[in-house]
Chains A and B, each alone.
Chain A
Amino acid sequence: MTNLEKYTKAFMDTFEIDENQAINLKFQGIDAWDSVGHMGLIAALEESFDIMMEPDDIVDLNSFEKGKEILAKYNVEF
Chain B
Amino acid sequence: MWNFNKFKQSIAVIEPDGKEITYQELSEYCQELSRYIEPHSLIFNLCSNTLGSLVGYLSAIEHNNVPLMLDEHIDHKLLSNFCNLYHPRYLWANKKLPLNISGKEIFNKWGYSLIELTWPHYYPIYGKLALLLTTSGSMGSPKFVRLSYENILNNTESIIDYLKITSAERAITSLPMNYTFGLSVINSHLMQGAGIVLCPYTIIQREFWELIEKYQVTSLSGVPYTYEMLDKLRFQRRKLPCLQTLTQAGGKLSPELHEKFAQYAKENNKNFVVMYGQTEATARMGYLPPEQSLAKIGSMGIAIPGGLFSLVDAEGKTITQPETIGELVYQGKNVALGYAEDGNDLCKEDEFNGRLVTGDMAKFDADGYFYIVGRKKRFLKIFGNRVNLDETERLIKTRFQTLDCACAGIDDAMCIYITDNQKIKEVQKFVAETSNLNFVAFTVKYIEQIPKNEAGKTLYKELDKSA
Query: Is B232 within 8 A of A42, CB to CB?
Result: yes
- CB-based A-B contact count at 8 angstroms: 49
Chain B's closest residue to A60 (CB) is: B206
**Assembled-state Cα–Cα distance A74/B25 (Å):** 49
Task: Note all chain B residues with C-beta closer than 8 A to A56.
Answer: 206
Does any Cβ of B come within 8 Å of A38's Cβ? Answer: yes
**Assembled-state Cα–Cα distance A61/B225 (Å):** 20
Q: How many residues of A contact B (CB 8 A)?
A: 18
Task: Note all chain A residues with C-beta closer than 8 A to B235.
Answer: 55
Query: Is B433 within 8 A of A31, CB to CB?
Result: yes
Shortest B208–chain A CB gap in Å is 8
Given A16-B439, A37-B440, check contact A59 B234 (CB 8 Å).
no
Query: Is B438 within 8 A of A37, CB to CB?
Result: yes
Set A27, A36, A42, A62: member contacting B441, Cβ < 8 A:
A36
Given A36-B225, A39-B204, check contact A58 B441 (CB 8 Å).
no
**Assembled-state Cα–Cα distance A38/B201 (Å):** 13
Interface string of A55-74 (1 = CB under 8 A from B): 11011101000000000000
Given A39-B229, A60-B206, check contact A55 B238 (CB 8 Å).
yes
Between B203, B209, B437, B439, the greatest number of chain A beta carbons within 10 A of the residue's beta carbon is seen for: B439
Chain A's closest residue to B228 (CB) is: A39
Of residues 211 to 254 in B, which have CB atoms within 8 Å of A's CB atoms?
225, 228-229, 232-235, 237-238
Does any Cβ of A come within 8 Å of B202's Cβ? Answer: yes
Set A16, A31, A32, A58: member contacting B204, Cβ < 8 A:
A58
Shortest B217–chain A CB gap in Å is 16
Task: Note all chain A residues with C-beta closer than 8 A to B437.
Answer: 36
Query: Is B206 within 8 A of A36, CB to CB?
Result: no
Of residues 1 to 44 in A, which have CB atoms within 8 Å of B's CB atoms?
16, 27, 31-32, 34-40, 42
**Assembled-state Cα–Cα distance A37/B438 (Å):** 7
Task: Note all chain B residues with C-beta closer than 8 A to A32.
Answer: 438-440
Set B206, B225, B383, B432: member contacting A59, Cβ < 8 A:
B206
Q: Is the interface of B mostly helix, strand, loop or mixed?
A: helix
Does any Cβ of A come within 8 Å of B205's Cβ? Answer: yes
Set B228, B237, B438: member contacting A34, Cβ < 8 A:
B438
Query: Is B205 within 8 A of A58, CB to CB?
Result: no
Task: Note all chain B residues with C-beta closer than 8 A to A38.
Answer: 204
Query: Is B205 within 8 A of A62, CB to CB?
Result: yes
Q: Is the interface on chain B under 10, 10 to 19, 20 to 34, or 35 or more residues? A: 20 to 34
Set B237, B238, B383, B433: member contacting A36, Cβ < 8 A:
B383
Of residues 409 to 467 in B, which have CB atoms within 8 Å of A's CB atoms?
425, 432-433, 437-441
Task: Note all chain B residues with C-beta closer than 8 A to A37.
Answer: 438, 440
Query: Is A35 within 8 A of B229, CB to CB?
Result: yes
Task: Note all chain B residues with C-beta closer than 8 A to A40.
Answer: 440
Chain A's closest residue to B229 (CB) is: A39
Shortest B432–chain A CB gap in Å is 7
Task: Note all chain B residues with C-beta closer than 8 A to A27.
Answer: 205
Of residues 159 to 192 in B, which have CB atoms within 8 Å of A's CB atoms?
none
Task: Note all chain B residues with C-beta closer than 8 A to A58.
Answer: 204, 232-233
Task: Note all chain A residues with C-beta closer than 8 A to B209.
Answer: 59
Shortest B61–chain A CB gap in Å is 29
Shortest A21–chain B CB gap in Å is 15
Chain B's closest residue to A36 (CB) is: B438
Query: Is A34 within 8 A of B202, CB to CB?
Result: yes
**Assembled-state Cα–Cα distance A62/B238 (Å):** 20
**Assembled-state Cα–Cα distance A27/B440 (Å):** 16
**Assembled-state Cα–Cα distance A31/B441 (Å):** 13
Task: Note all chain A residues with C-beta closer than 8 A to B234.
Answer: 55
**Assembled-state Cα–Cα distance A3/B383 (Å):** 33
A-B contact pairs, 6 of them (CB 8 A): A31-B432, A35-B202, A39-B204, A40-B440, A55-B237, A59-B233
Closest A-B pairs by Cβ, 5 of them = A36-B438, A35-B202, A59-B206, A55-B233, A35-B204
In addition to A35-B202, A55-B235, 8 A-B residue pairs with Cβ atoms within 8 Å of each other are A31-B433, A35-B204, A36-B437, A39-B229, A39-B232, A58-B204, A59-B205, A62-B205
